[in-house]
Amino acid sequence: MDDWGCGVRLEPLANASPGRVLGVTLAALGLAFVLVGAVFVAYGQNPLEVYRLMLSGTLLDAKGWQEILRRSIPLLLIGVGLTLAFRTQFYNIGAEGQLLLGAVLAAGVALFLPLPAPLSLPAMALAGALGGALWCGLAAWLRLRFSVNEILSTLMLNYVAQSLVIFLINGPWRGKDVRGYIYSDRFAEYQQIPVWAGSSVHWPTLLLGVLLALVLQFVLFRTTLGFRMRIVGENPGAARYLGIAQGRVLLLLALITGGMAGLAGVGEIAGIHHRLIEPSQLSSGYGFTAIIVAWLARGHPALVLLTAPLMGLVLAGGDLLKVSLNMPFRIVDIFSGVILFCLIGSELFLRYRVRWGR
């Protein structure tokens, strides 16, 4: 028990109740919106008017809903994988690079591997998942073999992946009809994921994300493998006592979370862009935004079905503000950063109860 003076004490909590977790999370989000509102005031805008514009231009508009769903698809896939990773104390900060590697391998299959039309798209998905899995698996191997912190290794691998994409579309994979921007050749029609009419919502990827969220929720809480994952994350000492091979669990976890980020990359290039393009255009920071998605889910993959659309709303609303109010390009980054800061700070109130008086 800590005493901060003035009669304020912190009492450790064995386990935070679901109601407490929900209340603390909502309070953190509320504080984040207040702090971002102060940024709007500094920019000369009325925060209430800004939030009204965000909601009316997204939730109350059909095109806005389509944009929310489009943004939610990669956040859903990546967020589910990161939820598992964080639950097992494997802090994967490299989903952005894993998304890019998935896109690279999928594009390689589309551009250079002659396959029958019915097999091409499944092969692209498999290659993309493999690319993301291997990229994350490398960081897991470095941790297990050389005790390299995965936060640093996965973060650094992001920049390697970005450089690789730029090299490929500037060099050996450069498209024949390049004008201005650099990109690869366009994929064939049968290599493109179907979308809802009049939108960019590639619904097969969306359904896959929903299915994986539900399956991994079941695996985590209803199977022996899930029990091992939870024990490794919550009590490594108990895991050693039970004879659980922690290295194998972490490596498997890394392959799963990286593979899902790779699938997100496949969805972006095969469902929207239909070619390999520059990293900044391929991903709007989905790998980093998905960290917030996973943190909000509090270790439950199924809850990503709610938290991914929430952050999809923030991304879609941020784009609207840039156009309608001429807000700075980085306003979405400010939004995301403040939300993550408040969520991390709120962890204190999940681990301790604040007591007043002596």
Backbone angles phi, psi at 322, to 5 degrees: -60, -40
**Gyration radius (Cα) of the chain, Å:** 21
In a domain, 20, yes or no: no
Backbone angles phi, psi at 12, to 5 degrees: -60, 145
In a domain, 345, yes or no: no
Alpha carbon 335 to its chain's center: 15
Alpha carbon 246 to its chain's center: 24
**DSSP calls for 289-303:** HHHHHHHHHTT-GGG
Rounded (10°) angle between helices 246-268 and 62-87: 160
In a domain, 170, yes or no: yes
From first to last of its 358 residues, what are the pLDDT tens digits of the chain?
555 556 667 788 777 788 888 899 999 999 999 999 999 998 889 999 999 998 898 998 889 999 999 999 999 999 999 999 999 999 999 999 999 999 999 999 999 999 999 999 999 999 999 999 999 999 999 999 999 999 999 999 999 999 999 999 999 999 988 877 899 999 999 999 999 988 899 999 999 999 999 999 999 999 999 999 999 999 999 999 999 999 999 999 999 999 999 999 999 999 999 999 999 999 989 999 999 999 999 999 999 999 999 999 999 998 888 888 888 777 888 888 899 899 888 888 888 887 775 5
Taking Cα atoms as reference points, which of 49, 103, 55, 57 lies closest to residue 78?
103
Taking Cα atoms as reference points, which of 352, 150, 181, 322 lies closest to residue 250?
150
In a domain, 164, yes or no: yes
**Number of folded domains that form the chain:** 1
Instruction: Quote the CA–CA distance of 160 and 167 in Å, as a whole number.
Output: 10
In a domain, 44, yes or no: no
Residue 252: give the domain boundaries. Answer: 74-297
In a domain, 91, yes or no: yes
**Do 305 and 312 touch, CB atoms closer than 8 A?**
no
In a domain, 202, yes or no: yes
In a domain, 161, yes or no: yes
